[in-house]
């Protein structure tokens, strides 16, 4: 199994693939920087992933960006808790709901949320991300993902 070459920043690359099969050198070389960045970002250690839409159709861009800024800050706090399951957060341009946003979805549970104005967003963060329990009155759908 390749051990991974140093990325752009000189840190070792991700040892790809995880199942131990070899990969062509060209691909390995082409992706070393991305592998190093994924490793630096903690990919492989996350238990949950939240995506939030920053508008402009489900909410204004200003509302969406304010929600993103708040989510980013609060997830950072949650990830510092002792024994926390690390959460990854990503802003997106559209989740194709386009009504009553800001809109978000949390995986692996696949719980979709709408109307995440500041107070509602705080509840979603505290209850869903902080305590791992759904917030039914803010939920707009559910689509858990499974590998089975
Ligand atoms: S613009 Fe937010 S879901 Fe489409």
Residues 28 and 60 in one domain: no
Tell me the three-class secondary structure of 69-106, residue by residue.
HHHHHHHHHHHCCCCCCCEEEEEECCCCCCCCCCCEEE
Residues 72 and 116 in one domain: yes
**Residue 146 confidence (pLDDT):** 86
Q: 10 Å Cβ neighbour count for 126?
A: 14
**What pLDDT is recorded for position 6?**
43
CA distance 91 to 22: 34
Asked, for residue 147, whether it belongs to a domain, the answer is: no
116 close to ligand 1 (CB < 6 Angstrom) = no
Asked, for residue 10, whether it belongs to a domain, the answer is yes
* pTM summary value: 0.81
Ligand 1 near 57 CB (within 6 A): yes
Residues 20 and 89 in one domain: no
How many domains is the chain built from? 2
Non-local (6+) Cβ contacts of 13 within 8 A are 3, 4, 5, 6, 7, 28, 32, 35, 36, 39
The Å distance, Cα 41 to ligand 1 centre, comes to 26
The answer to whether the beta carbons of residues 68 and 54 sit under 8 Å apart is yes
d(CA 20, CA 7): 20
CATH label of the domain that carries residue 58: 3.40.30.10
91 and 113: one domain? Answer: yes
Q: Do residues 57 and 16 share a domain?
A: no
Residue 5 resides in a domain: yes
Q: How far is the CA of 44 from the centre of ligand 1 (A)?
A: 28
The boundaries of the domain holding residue 37 are: 1-41
Same domain, 80 and 132: yes
- Mutation pick for ligand 1 pocket among 58, 68, 121 (CB with most ligand atoms within 8 Å): 58
In the structure, how many helices (H) and strands (E) does the chain have?
Answer: 4, 5
- Ligand 1 center from residue 7 Cα (angstroms): 35
Ligand 1 center from residue 58 Cα (angstroms): 5
Residue 130 lies in a domain: yes
Residue 117: inside a domain: yes
Whether 61 and 30 map to the same domain: the answer is: no
* Chunked mean pLDDT (size 10), the chain, 148 residues: 40 47 60 96 96 98 98 98 96 98 98 98 98 98 91
Residues 64 and 116 in one domain: yes
Q: Are residues 10 and 37 in the same domain?
A: yes
**Which atom number of ligand 1 is nearest to the Cα of residue 94?**
4
Query: Residue 28 in contact with residue 16, Cβ under 8 Å?
Result: yes
Which pLDDT score is estimated for 52? 98
């Amino acid at each position: 199994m390749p051990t991974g070459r140093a990325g752009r920043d000189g840190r070792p690359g991700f040892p790809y693939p995880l199942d131990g099969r070899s990969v062509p050198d060209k691909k390995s070389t082409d992706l070393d920087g991305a592998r190093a960045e994924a490793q630096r970002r903690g990919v492989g250690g996350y238990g949950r992933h939240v995506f939030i839409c920053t508008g402009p159709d489900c909410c204004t861009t200003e509302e969406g960006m304010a929600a993103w800024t708040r989510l980013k800050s609060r997830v950072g706090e949650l990830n510092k808790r002792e024994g926390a399951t690390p959460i990854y957060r990503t802003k997106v341009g559209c989740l194709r709901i386009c009504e009553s946003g800001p809109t978000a979805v949390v995986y692996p549970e696949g719980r979709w949320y709408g109307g995440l104005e500041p107070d509602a967003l705080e509840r979603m963060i505290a209850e869903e991300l902080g305590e791992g329990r759904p917030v039914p009155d803010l939920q707009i759908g559910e689509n858990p993902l499974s590998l089975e």
